[in-house]
Amino acid sequence: MATDHLDLTHSDEEIRTFIEEAVAQKGTRHQPRFYAVTGSHVYGFHSADSDIDVRGIHVAPAEEYAYLQTPVGEVTINMDGTTEGFEAHSEIDLRSYELKKFGSLLAKANYNVIELVFEAPTVMNGIPLEMDALETLIREHLPMNVPHAYLGMAKSNYYKHLDREKSEGYDPRPKKFLYVYRGLLGAKYVLDYEDIEANIKTLAAEVEGGDPELVEELIARKRETEESAVPEALEQRARDAIVKQFNALGALPTPDKADYYEALDEWMHNVRA
């Protein structure tokens, strides 16, 4: 999936050049392999000033894991302010996982990396056969504990930003409601369809009990005024929808992932070979 429909401020070629400069830095033997755009552009509620969130995979030589100083698990650029030397690409936030770290996140069924495989528009792919194989591998084992990961994200964001009892961190802006609602809808979607969907508009339309009109209103409000809280009536509708979707989840299954771990190990071996 290309990024043409995203109307980004940088071309794919510019983003690829940025990735190469950021990941394959002098003094390392990192090989950038696969990168895609994630974040609000994929979630369906980006604004004109939204950063370009890029995640991906690089590979370090396997023998470096035999040294005392093993490869870093991830390379991050512009994640906490603009990284020195990358001012020309300050709108791009990059998180590049070394293959082993990426595999460990896959093993935990981390929704961020699974969405990267299934949903994110690609800007660099040097391992197309391997990534197709990975998507097939994951699909064969869904839902696993992906619903747990989505639910955990939703609850964490709710308690951190939308709990009225907590003065510190309380932040009832549209974006916070969208993150919570997306997590709950995402959990139900993977349970019902054994597939992954990142876009909140699609989730609200396809998950039973979803509220597409609420989502559209929250997105419009977010794009209109990023810093303002949600109006009282819209906030109550959002809270009601969140509670309804939370109750719809019920007890989540406990998966056996032994075969999944074994398949992941084989996949990682093929990528690193």
Kindly state whether residue 10 falls inside one of the protein's structural domains. Answer: yes
Kindly state whether residue 68 falls inside one of the protein's structural domains. Answer: yes
| pLDDT at position 48 | 79
pLDDT bracket for residue 127 (50, 70, 90): very high
Kindly state whether residue 8 falls inside one of the protein's structural domains. Answer: yes
Identify whether residues 31 and 49 lie together within a single domain.
yes
Kindly state whether residue 87 falls inside one of the protein's structural domains. Answer: yes
- Any idea which of 71-80, 122-131, 226-235, 248-257 has the lowest mean pLDDT? 226-235
Kindly state whether residue 201 falls inside one of the protein's structural domains. Answer: yes
Domain count of the chain? 2
| pLDDT at position 88 | 87
Residue type, 232: E
pLDDT bracket for residue 70 (50, 70, 90): very high
pLDDT bracket for residue 93 (50, 70, 90): very high
Identify whether residues 150 and 176 lie together within a single domain.
yes
Per-residue pLDDT of 158-210, as tens digits, reads 999 999 988 788 999 999 999 999 999 999 999 999 999 999 999 999 999 99
Per the CB < 8 A criterion, the answer to whether 153 and 111 are in contact is yes
Kindly state whether residue 84 falls inside one of the protein's structural domains. Answer: yes
Could you give the CA distance from residue 122 to residue 120 in angstroms, rounded to a whole number? 6
83's CB contacts (< 8 A; 6+ apart) are: 77
Identify whether residues 41 and 111 lie together within a single domain.
yes
Task: Give residue 177's domain range.
Answer: 146-249
Cβ atoms within 10 Å, residue 133? 16
Could you give the CA distance from residue 85 to residue 77 in angstroms, rounded to a whole number? 10
Identify whether residues 61 and 164 lie together within a single domain.
no
Identify whether residues 114 and 38 lie together within a single domain.
yes
Mean pLDDT across 66-82: 92
Identify whether residues 87 and 213 lie together within a single domain.
no
For 202, counting Cβ atoms within 10 Å of its Cβ (0-12 exposed, 13-18 middle, 19+ buried), the class is middle
66's CB contacts (< 8 A; 6+ apart) are: none
Identify whether residues 124 and 228 lie together within a single domain.
no
Could you give the CA distance from residue 51 to residue 239 in angstroms, rounded to a whole number? 27
| Full DSSP string of 64-114 | GGGSSSPPPSEEEESSSSPPTT-GGGTTEEEEEEEHHHHHHHHHTT-HHHH
Kindly state whether residue 254 falls inside one of the protein's structural domains. Answer: no
* Domain containing residue 114: CATH number: 3.30.460.10
Identify whether residues 217 and 232 lie together within a single domain.
yes
Kindly state whether residue 20 falls inside one of the protein's structural domains. Answer: yes
Could you give the CA distance from residue 127 to residue 49 in angstroms, rounded to a whole number? 31
Identify whether residues 86 and 155 lie together within a single domain.
no
Mean pLDDT across 44-73: 92
Identify whether residues 226 and 135 lie together within a single domain.
no
Identify whether residues 18 and 62 lie together within a single domain.
yes
More confident residue, 189 or 224: 189
State the DSSP code for 6: G
Identify whether residues 150 and 126 lie together within a single domain.
no
Could you give the CA distance from residue 18 to residue 79 in angstroms, rounded to a whole number? 14
